[in-house]
Chain A
């Protein structure tokens, strides 16, 4: 009898242990599932955060580009306003009595340009090209331009001639041409400064 009781007790104990282990396994599975769900949520959240950060960076980049463009336009308007612009052009006609070497420009006594011409550039001028030698911003009022032309004159002698002109800078852009022509009668070059209408 006692033996039977012992056997049944043993069976009961084994069952109890079995139930406990199953319960333990179930709870472990549940906890691991919960953990995986939580990690997935975290991952999704971090992905979302990253996406929004990326969007922010893109927006910021766009804003910087817009700002850069606005600054560029503003700078251009401030530094080279069309109304205060004065441009000086050099042109040459025939050029038999003068071989251009360099031009020196002074506005109101201040040197603003000193340009050396290469053979190729002189050739371009002789073929009808016009060279913008200087562009400045001047306030309205009277100004004085002194242009000194250096080169070879008749009989390939060193030649240096100046031309002066006073001009009135009104409202609006101004264009001036420094023209080198030949004076056939005198067999000398002539330097003329004129304003473009």
Chain B
């Protein structure tokens, strides 16, 4: 019985480790650079934010949790922007007009970029909606969050604060 339990434990721990590794494939690596057109019409390049703690939030208009999460992210952005925190919302809709409508409806102030060709979301292995990636000042991926559940904003807050202190 004990042996069986042990084996089961090993199997589960291996499975958990594999799934963790798969979900955080980019963690610890240098964030892939990209440039996208923003809602204001200007082009923004990620590497120009080097030196800031950067959060990249991939979202879509059809995603309910994204709608829930975006105003909370905007609060974080307005609070920490002046101490070196940047937030880039990357919309993956085919039609950027829908995204523009949602942005104005929600009244978010952070820059929203349009990844119509889905090139950036492929680079960041976006396999869920939303996906939130947090980079440190050196441009290294430190945290990757798949999906959103109420309470995640607390995690984001802790992680941003600790990265800002580094």
Contacts and interface: CB of A to CB of B under 8 A. Distances in A.
**Secondary structure of the A contact surface, majority rule:** mixed
A102 interface: yes
Interface centre among B35, B36, B43, B45 (most CB of A within 10 A): B43
A120 B44 CA distance: 9
Nearest to A121: B45
Contacts of B37: 116
Interface string A117-130: 11111000000000
Contacts of A102: 43
B114 to A, nearest CB: 11
Interface residues of A, number: 9
B42 interface: yes
A90 to B, nearest CB: 14
A93 interface: no
A116 B35 contact: yes
Interface string A47-82: 000000000000000000000000000000000000
Interface string B30-57: 0000011100001111001000000000
B9 to A, nearest CB: 33
Contacts of B42: 118-119
A61 B36 CA distance: 44
Interface in A98-137: 101-102, 115-121
A115 B45 CA distance: 11
Given A116-B35, A117-B35, A120-B48, 7 more contacts: A115-B35, A116-B45, A117-B43, A118-B43, A118-B48, A119-B42, A121-B45
Interface of A: 101-102, 115-121
